[in-house]
Amino acid sequence: MREKKGLKADYVILGGGIAGMRAAIELAAAGSVLVLTKGDVHESNSQQAQGGIAAALADDDEVSLHYQDTLRAGDGLCSEQAVQMLVGQGPREIQRLIEWGMKFDRDGNKLAFTREGAHSRSRVLHAHGDSTGAQTMRALIAKARHLSGIEIRSHAFALDILMEGGAVTGVLYLDEKQGTVHSLSARSVLLATGGLGQVYQETTNPAVATGDGVALAYRAGALLSDLEFIQFHPTALFVKGAPRFLLSEALRGEGGILRNILLERFMPRYHEAGELAPRDVVSRSIVMEMQKTRSEFVYLDLTGLDAEHVKKRFPTIYSTCLQNNLDITQDLIPVRPAAHYSMGGVASDLDGATSVAGLYAAGEVAATGVHGANRLASNSLLEGLVFGARAAAAMTRPPCPASFPAPPRNEAVPCSAQQSTDPAALAPPEKLIALVRSVLWSKAGILRNGRDLSDAVKKLETLGLGPEIPPQRRAYEAMNVLTVGRLIARCALARRESRGAHYRTELPLKDDSRPPSHSYVRKGGGVFFAPSLPAPATASQSISRGR
Ligand code: SIN
C-alpha cells in the first residue's frame, strides 16, 4: 500500500477513551490535536465501564482513606506518589467533569455513592445506574467537540510510531475507510490506547482491546513494566456462546452474594470482607470453588435484594441478562472470572513520559505503578482523568524521556516477542489470535505455575503470522496480540512469587526477602526487576491550565 505523507498535527493522541479525551481537552489551547481511534469513537473500555469512578467526596470519606485502600489492594507494589496524585487530584477532576456536563446519580441534591470491593467507604460515583463510562465519555466528547483545535478521526489504526534519532516524530497509520496508509508528523504522541483483554480467551473487554499501545511502544524500543499483573474480574456472565458480559462489582456492593453450584455462600470462608474482598481474592476463590465442585461457574445471587431497586440501579445489566433469558431479580446468575484490566503496560512517570523522548502514555496502557499488583475497583476511570490531564500538560513542554532503572549487567536471555521460530506454525490473523488467546487463558490465567508458564512461552515463540501478511487492521492486531501475549507469559514466568493478581500455585507467598519490585522488559532485552518506578521531574507542578 502506498504511503501518503505531509499530514501534520502538534499533538497526536492514539485512543479516544477517557485518558485520550481528557488529554485532548487539556491540550486544545496549546496547539492542534488529532485524536486517532482505531474503531468508532464509542468503542472503548471506558465507554463500557459500569461500576463507576472512585473519589473521596462523600461526607464520611477522606483522601487518606482512599489512599490507604488503594495501597492495600495493590499488595505492596503501588507507587506511593502515583497513588497520592490519583486520590489527591481525583476530586478536582470529578468537579471539572460535572462542570462539563457530567450527570452523576444523586440522592436528592447530594451525589450518590456505592461501595465496591476493598473500599473502606462508599465512594464510587455512578451515572444512569450502570452506564458510568458511557455517560463520562458523552460529557468528555461533547466538551472536546466544542473546542477548536481538536479533530477526532475514527477508523484510523496506528501501525507504528515514527522515530528519528531515538525521538518520536509522528505516527504511521492506516485509514481503514480509504484503505490508505498515512505518515503523520507530530511534536509528541500520547498512547491512550486502553487495555489488552483480548489477549485472553475470556474477557470483559471489547473487541478493540488488543494491546496495540503496548505493542507499538515495544516496537519503538520503550520500556514496559509489570505486564504479568492481569486483573480478572470475578463476575462475567457465563452463558455458553455469549460474550463474557461484565456484571459490575457494584452488584455485590449493593448486597449481591456469591454461591457455589451447591448453593453454599463461600466468600466468608476465604476473606473477612466476604464478597467485597479485593478483586484478586474473589476471582481466585471462585476458581477454587469451581474446581472443588467440578463446575464451570458459580452463581451471583441478587434475589435477596429489592427487585425494583435492582432494575432501577442496574438497567443495562438487567436488560442484557433478560436477553439471555435471565431475570436477575429472580434467577441465580451463572458467572465466572474473565480478564478485565492490565495493571502493567508502558513504563511511564507521573507525567506520562516514557523512556522514549516524545512518547507519552496515560490510562490503562500506562504503567505508573498506581495500581501496584492489583487495581482497586473503580480507580481506572479516575486514573484516565488525572493522568490524561497530567500527560497533556507535560506534552506542551520540550520532550524529555523519563529515566527508569537500568537492566543489570548480567541481563537474562533476551526475549523475542515478535518473530516466529517455526515456519510451519504460521497462521492467518483470526487463527493466530485464537491460538494466543487459548494459550494465555489456559497457561497464564488466574492460577498459574512455572511449568505452564514455561510451556506458554515456548508455544508462543513458535507462533507467527503468515505466510502472507495482508495490510489490514486485523493482521496488525494479530501481531500485537502475539507480541503482548509473549511478553505477559515471559514476565509471569520471571516473577517467582505470588503477589496481587499474579498467583503461582507452586509459589503461593510473596517474596519478602527483597523489596517489592516491578518487572521491566524492552525489545532486545530480558525481563529484569527493580524496586520502584522513578519520581517525576515535575511531580509538584500543578495542572491548572484550562481549569
Ligand atoms: C465494575 O463495574 O465492576 C468494573 C469497575 C472496575 O473495573 O473498576
DSSP string across 191-204: E-----GGGSSSBS
Q: What is the mean pLDDT of each run of 10 residues along the chain (547 residues)?
A: 82 98 98 96 90 96 98 96 98 98 97 96 96 96 96 97 97 94 97 98 96 98 98 97 93 97 98 96 98 98 98 96 97 98 98 98 98 97 98 96 86 54 81 97 98 97 86 94 98 98 98 95 95 52 30
Q: Is 428 exposed, middle or buried (0-12, 13-18, 19+ CB in 10 A)?
A: middle
How close is the Cα of 422 to the center of ligand 1, in Å? 40
User: Concatenated DSSP letters for 296-346?
Assistant: S-EEEE-TTS-HHHHHHH-HHHHHHHHHTT--TTTS-EEEEEEEEEES-EE
- Which helix (H) or strand (E) segment holds residue 134: the answer is helix 132-146
- What pLDDT is recorded for position 1? 64
pLDDT at 501: 98
pLDDT at 408: 81
Q: How remote is the CA of residue 418 from the centroid of ligand 1, in Å?
A: 32
Degrees to nearest 5, angle at CA 381 with 171 and 258:
130
SS3 of residue 136 by DSSP: helix
Atom of ligand 1 lying closest to residue 116 CA = 3
What positions carry a catalytic annotation?
279
pLDDT of residue 540: 37
**pLDDT at residue number 547:** 25
CA separation, residue 274 to residues 117, 234, 375, 440 (Å)? 9, 13, 18, 29
Ligand 1 centre from 380 Cα, in Å? Answer: 8
Q: Which atom of ligand 1 is nearest to the CA of 380?
A: 8
Ligand 1 pocket residues where CB is under 6 Å = 49-51, 248-250, 341, 377-378, 380
Q: Is 194 left (phi over 0), alpha (psi -120 to 50) or beta?
A: left
The angle formed by the CA atoms of residues 140, 143 and 148, to the nearest 5 degrees, is 130
CA of 337 to the centre of ligand 1 (A): 13
Q: For a substitution probing ligand 1, which of 44, 50, 235 has the most ligand atoms within 8 Å of its CB?
A: 50
What is residue 414's predicted lDDT score, i.e. its pLDDT? Answer: 54
Q: What pLDDT sits at residue 424?
A: 73
Closest CA to 190 of 81, 383, 65, 352: 352
Atom of ligand 1 nearest to the CA of 249: 3
Question: pTM of this prediction?
Answer: 0.94
Mutate to test the pocket of ligand 1, among 44, 124, 233 (most ligand atoms within 8 A of CB): 233
Point out which residues pair with 258 in neighbouring strands: 300
Give the ligand 1 atom nearest the CA of 231.
Answer: 7
Q: How many angstroms does the Cα of residue 91 sit away from the middle of ligand 1?
A: 19
Answer whether 10's CB lies under 8 Å from 186's CB: yes
